[in-house]
Amino acid sequence: MDRRGPGEPGPRAASLTSHAGCGSSRPLFSSMSTLDLFSPSPPLTAAGRVVSIHRSKEGVPKLAVPAARISVAGVEGDRQRNLRHHGGPDRALCLYSLELIEALRAEGHPVEPGSMGENVVIAGIDWRRMVPGARVRLGMIGIELTSFAHPCRNIRGSFVGGRVGRVSPESHPGWSRVYARVLSEGELSPGDIVILV
């Protein structure tokens, strides 16, 4: 009998982690798509939902808030420690996938929503389509994805052995967080619809 909760990865996810360690230079699931990890969960699509919104006074972890105003500067009340590498209009928001967080946890990493500095965690979107240049609606807010977020030492606590390269766009394509600029401002709440446009 399957006793997994909603959204938990299928039994195949845990068995696949032995094929490559977190420090491997090749993608952990190089012959598989993210979709394969979560069957028989519902298929990922071009539409999903906001799971959580996060901000902090400085650095990580970013803590969940019940709702937030999103402006061209990002999540109202959010601050970054190093403005050379974080923040600014082209990095106003950092987004990540709940499905990938769950897969990382299945590998044994102590990652939580917001612990890698992401402002918005979403579910149901095919993360392979979340690439620079894509336009997305978060509720009534319009954003454009600008770049992949390179991991830094500040998120070491989210990974076994501090191996932040596990979400590097170079060594593990498809597992990176993504930055976005805000095209239209507004209020955002968990449960809001997310659509790739």
Range of the structural domain that residue 61 is part of: 11-196
Determine phi and psi for 14, rounding to 5 degrees: -70, -35
Tens digit of pLDDT for each residue in 65-111? 999 999 999 999 998 655 565 567 999 999 999 999 999 999 999 99
Asked if residue 159 is part of any domain, the answer here is: yes
> For residue 146, what is the domain's CATH number?
2.40.33.20
Is residue 24 scored above 90 in pLDDT? no
Asked if residue 15 is part of any domain, the answer here is: yes
pLDDT at 58: 81
Tens digit of pLDDT for each residue in 111-129? 999 999 999 999 999 999 9
Helix (H, G, I), strand (E, B) or coil at 183: strand
Asked if residue 4 is part of any domain, the answer here is: no
Instruction: Give me the number of domains the chain comprises.
Output: 1
Asked if residue 171 is part of any domain, the answer here is: yes
Asked if residue 2 is part of any domain, the answer here is: no
Query: Which is nearest to 173 in space by CA: 38, 25, 12?
Result: 25
